[in-house]
Amino acid sequence: MTRYAARAGHASLQALTILSVVFVFVFCAGCATTPEPAESFPIAQEPRVVLKPGDVLQVKFLYWPELNEEYQSIRPDGKISLQLVGEVHAEGLEPAQLRQELLTLYQDKLIDPEISVVVRSLDSHRVYVGGEVLSPGLVPIQGQLTALEAIMQAGGPRKQSAKMNSVVIVRQQDDRQYATTIDLRESLESPESIAFELAPRDIIYVPRTAIDRVDQWVDQYINQVIPRSVHTNFTLTKELDSDNGDSNGARAAELLTNLNSAAATSLGEAPSVTP
């Protein structure tokens, strides 16, 4: 019986130690504040079509249809390849600017060339939405697109785990990468909030709430070790709100009491061992 009592006490102490770590994590998460957006973060430019690698063009010649290019994709080096003139740099140009460039190149190849440039698809004009959304992936930009609109097109945020007050935006501009966080809870709650405009190739990441991460940690490191009858006590952590720090201490204390009682009860149901 002495060995059994020692073993029961050790298991109860181990469970209490683990849950104490969970309590500290939850309490600290509740005190955390959302970081302010970086002042140097570049604003989105006015919508305009600027050709980039991956965009698909149609190049048509009015009097020489044999030179037409129905699907001309801009290569990763920013160039397209056309008959008679070879490689032409297209990246960074607007369609009208590219047309003017082609007219100049074909001036000594054709008599009064008449050329049109039509954009078939703007594969570069997309944003990437990931994290706690239902359908992460690429979202096309058609005109103007806000961060909230992009998240909704990606299926919307996961109700139980999305941390909408700290959405991360990563923007690439002038060969540099910038990152900031924005609070989209106001956009969901107030129709008069200021919309956050996105730029092509932006990355929108919706992080997980602290409580969701605690639940995963509990499931991996506690529910796998503690007896089955104790598991129900840990599901109560989902009721904790990371924004309500005042009740975290009381709830954690209650969980500690429940855990100690359940662990002792579970171990007490085990068959006695005769030393």
Q: How confident is the model at residue 221 (pLDDT cuts 50, 70, 90)?
A: low
Q: Which residues pair with 59 in a beta bridge?
A: 69, 117
* Structural domain includes residue 142: yes
Question: What's the confidence (pLDDT) of residue 255?
Answer: 53
Instruction: State yes or no: pLDDT of 240 exceeds 70.
Output: no
Q: What is the pLDDT of residue 129?
A: 95
Residue 89 lies in a domain: yes
Q: In this structure, is residue 70 part of a structural domain?
A: yes
User: Which residue's structure tokens are 């604003």?
Assistant: 43
Q: How confident is the model at residue 210 (pLDDT cuts 50, 70, 90)?
A: confident
Domain that holds residue 143: 126-206
Q: What pLDDT is stored for residue 231 in this prediction?
A: 46
Between residues 174 and 237, the one the model is more confident about: 174
Q: Are residues 151 and 219 in the same domain?
A: no
In a domain, 172, yes or no: yes
Do both 64 and 82 map to the same domain?
yes
Same domain? 178 vs 194: yes
| pLDDT reported for residue 82 | 94
Band of residue 44 on the pLDDT scale cut at 50, 70, 90: low
Which of 121, 143, 172 terminates a domain? The answer is: 121
- Whether 200 is covered by a domain: the verdict is yes
Mind listing the pLDDT tens digit for each residue in 120-163? 888 778 899 999 999 999 998 877 899 999 999 999 999 888 99
Same structural domain, 191 and 233: no
Count of domains forming the chain? 3
Shared domain for 222 and 173, answered yes or no, is no
Q: What is the mean pLDDT of the chain?
A: 74
Tell me if the pTM is above 0.75.
Answer: no
Better pLDDT: 100 or 217: 100
pLDDT tens by residue, 46-102: 667 889 888 999 999 999 999 999 999 999 999 999 999 999 999 999 999 999 999
CATH number of the CATH domain containing 154:
3.10.560.10
User: Mean per-residue pLDDT for 201-221?
Assistant: 76
Residue 275 falls inside a structural domain = no
Whether 175 maps to a domain, the answer reads: yes
Say yes or no: 197 and 173 in one domain.
yes
> For residue 94, what pLDDT is reported?
92
Supply the pLDDT for residue 47: 62
Choose from 83-87, 187-191, 208-212 the range with maximum mean pLDDT: 83-87
